[in-house]
């Protein structure tokens, strides 16, 4: 009996080590060259058999072919995540299908080679910049795992350095500077404690604790609204909220990729295909038509209240409409959630401060000064920080044994 338990324990330990080592492989193994075509799936649909023509294929590869060098498998997955712009269940950047298919094949090959035929796997990655907000990116490779007899390893993956990397530094400064506005309330509280020590008047402490709680609620609301929605001013510059910052980043990638085609490459393809353009009516039209018939149709599912004044949408219209819509919908969606969360944060901070005040009143006169304004700021930041995950994604790898 003991022998069977020892064997089972050893087997379990081996499987746990296997999934942990597989995650390490994803994090450390590098792909020398990873290639995909931006909007490749859409172009395949437009050109059909002509897609294999050397001239057309060469032109598309020149302008829309992407090559990523010497990145880890986890890095490639993270880059895909931050480029998706998944909003309320809709993936706005629909031009990444070829990227995903090639990434799926590449990661599957790596893990199958590593695990062999004994195991199946599911790799799931999720980037959610603001906890509770359905906004960011999702990636899943492999079949759904069974309900039992699985082994899971989880970790955080850093996102590629982007404009969001600079943004987070300004956001942290903004939070710290905003919390400095509590200095007056804190000083008033410590002054009230000194006065209580002389007069014994409890009401003055109750009143100052109430003022501190009200201002703390107001400042945390201001902080979260600025970081997520409205933006903030720091270091002499205006900075957008994380929603708009992400939207601008993704649309910037779309513009950078499609812009050259809009500026001339498409005309070269049109000239070549004009003699054959009898059954492929889309081929003779500018890329704007492709954009309007693909991304605009998909975005119409999201932008139900934005019609561009009845004019054909271009990328600038889409960016403007999407930003307005997402921020508006997110505010509505998160309103009750954030109010509850902020109230919980304020309650937790005030319980801590009230306990310090009680200790002071019981004779521990140094506890409040020792905690100080810096201590209160640190507690607030500890409560707020878990809500924001702008620069890291969650990775989960699940393994299970193939039953024969």
Classify residue 132: in a domain, yes or no: yes
For residues 41 and 181, state if they share a domain: no
Nearest 5°: phi and psi at 66? Answer: -120, 140
For residues 173 and 154, state if they share a domain: no
Do 112 and 73 contact (CB within 8 A), yes or no?
no
Classify residue 311: in a domain, yes or no: no
Residues 6+ apart with CB under 8 A from 97: 40, 41, 42
For residues 215 and 131, state if they share a domain: no
Q: What is the DSSP string of 281-301?
A: TTTTS-HHHHHHHHHHHHHHT
Report the number of distinct structural domains present in the chain.
Answer: 2
For residues 221 and 332, state if they share a domain: yes
For residues 194 and 155, state if they share a domain: no
Which domain, by its residues, includes 361? 165-241+326-387
pLDDT tens by residue, 296-355: 555 555 555 444 454 445 556 666 676 677 677 777 777 777 788 888 888 988 998 999
Query: For residues 376 and 190, what is the distance between their CA atoms, to the nearest angstrom?
Result: 13
For the cut 50, the answer to whether the pLDDT of residue 397 exceeds it is: yes
Q: What is the pLDDT of residue 143?
A: 96
Query: For residues 353 and 303, what is the distance between their CA atoms, to the nearest angstrom?
Result: 45
Instruction: Tokens 């889409």: give the residue.
Output: 318
For residues 128 and 175, state if they share a domain: no
Classify residue 112: in a domain, yes or no: yes
Classify residue 137: in a domain, yes or no: yes
Classify residue 259: in a domain, yes or no: no
For residues 85 and 219, state if they share a domain: no
For residues 215 and 79, state if they share a domain: no
Q: What is the DSSP string of 55-88?
A: HHHHHHHHHHEEEEEEEEHHHHHHHHHHHH-EET
Two tokens, residue 191: 């002054």
Q: What is the mean pLDDT of residues 197-212?
A: 89
The per-residue pLDDT of the chain, averaged, comes to 80
């Amino acid at each position: 009996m003991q022998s069977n338990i020892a064997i089972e324990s050893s087997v379990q330990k081996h499987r746990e080590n296997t999934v942990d080592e597989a995650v390490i492989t994803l994090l450390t193994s590098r792909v020398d060259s990873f290639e995909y075509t931006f909007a490749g799936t859409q172009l395949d649909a437009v050109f059909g058999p002509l897609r294999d023509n050397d001239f057309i294929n060469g032109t598309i590869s020149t302008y829309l072919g992407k090559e990523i060098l010497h990145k880890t498998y986890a890095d490639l997955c993270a880059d895909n995540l931050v480029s998706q712009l998944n909003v309320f269940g809709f993936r706005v950047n629909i031009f990444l299908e070829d990227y995903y298919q090639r990434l799926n094949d590449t990661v599957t090959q790596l893990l199958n080679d590593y695990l062999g035929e004994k195991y199946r796997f599911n790799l799931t990655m999720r980037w959610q910049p603001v906890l509770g907000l359905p906004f960011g990116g999702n990636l899943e490779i492999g079949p759904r795992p069974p309900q039992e007899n699985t082994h899971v390893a989880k970790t955080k993956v850093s996102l590629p350095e982007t404009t969001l990397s600079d943004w987070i530094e300004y956001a942290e400064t903004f939070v710290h500077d905003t919390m400095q506005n509590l200095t007056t309330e804190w000083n008033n509280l410590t002054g009230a404690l000194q006065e209580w020590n002389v007069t014994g008047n409890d009401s003055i402490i109750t009143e100052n604790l109430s003022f501190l709680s009200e201002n703390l609620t107001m400042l945390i609301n201001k902080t979260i609204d600025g970081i997520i929605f409205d933006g903030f001013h720091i270091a002499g510059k205006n900075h957008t909220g994380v929603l708009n910052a992400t939207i601008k980043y993704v649309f910037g990638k779309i513009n950078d990729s499609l812009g050259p085609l809009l500026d001339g490459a498409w005309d070269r393809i049109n000239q070549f295909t004009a003699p054959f353009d009898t059954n492929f009516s889309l081929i003779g039209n500018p890329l704007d038509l492709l954009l309007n018939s693909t991304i605009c149709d998909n975005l119409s599912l999201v932008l139900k209240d934005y019609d561009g004044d009845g004019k054909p949408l271009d990328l600038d219209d889409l960016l403007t409409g999407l930003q307005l819509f997402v921020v508006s919908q997110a505010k509505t969606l998160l309103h009750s959630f954030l109010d509850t969360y902020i109230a919980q944060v304020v309650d937790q901070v005030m319980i801590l401060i009230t306990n310090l005040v009680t200790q002071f009143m019981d004779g521990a006169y140094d506890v409040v000064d020792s905690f100080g304004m810096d201590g209160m700021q640190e507690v607030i930041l500890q409560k707020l920080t878990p809500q924001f995950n702008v620069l890291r994604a969650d990775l989960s790898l699940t393994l299970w044994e193939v039953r024969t």
